[in-house]
Amino acid sequence: MKIRKVVTIIEEITTEGGRPVTPAARVAIVAAVIENPWAGQGFVEDLGPGIDATASDVGALLAPAVLEALGATAEAYGKAAIVGLNGEVEHGSALIHTLKFGDHFRDAAHATTLLPAVEKRGPAGIIFDIPLKHITDATIRSHHQTIEVRIADAPHPDELIIALAAASQGRPQQRLADFAPGQ
């Protein structure tokens, strides 16, 4: 895995709807800008070798880093794969939709639910939203949220942005009930 850079973003919301948020709602994102392991190879039928060479390493890098940046227990989490213009969306999906990647985060966060994800292709500076859900119960509506991310100089055409996000709580001032049967 060739890493060009790692970017850490921390958001802390202290007021929402004109009311204080106590404790402050924290969201952390850690993103690795890496070389696309399939760059320059044309259409690759078997993505397995690239997955084996990259997915676990990038998961092992990002999972502890995002939890450290959060500085609190994670209650919600999500992931992203943003592919440079010379790649395929499938390249990003291949790296983040494998237990070799996701289990690093699930294990570190003591999570059991599926990691919600965004995958897209775009130019450097593309804006993307990482969806977040509760780490153990996807029916808890308060933790259904998104965090917007932009890295000004990434991804280059032959790069990927692989990112993890973690939140210390649900949406500030949330007032919706949990999902019930039939909703």
Amino acid, res. 52: D
Range of the domain at 34: 1-73+81-127+167-174
pLDDT for residue 139 = 86
User: Do the domain assignments include residue 107?
Assistant: yes
For residue 143, being part of any structural domain is answered with: no
Give the position of tokens 């676990």.
56
pLDDT in tens, 61-93: 999 999 999 999 999 999 999 999 999 999 999
Q: What is the CATH number of the domain that holds 30?
A: 3.30.1330.110
**How many structural domains is the chain composed of?**
1
In a domain, 133, yes or no: no
Would residue 149 count as lying in a domain?
A: no
Residue range 117-144: mean pLDDT, rounded: 95
Identify whether 10 is part of a domain. Answer: yes
Q: How far apart are CA 105 and CA 79, in angstroms?
A: 10
**Would you say residue 142 lies in a domain?**
no
Structure tokens, 163: 């990112």
Q: What is the mean pLDDT of the chain?
A: 95
Within a domain: 121: yes
Domain annotation covers residue 160:
no
Whole-model pTM over 0.75: yes
CA dihedral over 85, 76, 58, 34, signed as positive or negative: positive
HEC secondary structure over 171-183:
CCCCCCCCCCCCC
At residue 61, the pLDDT reads 98
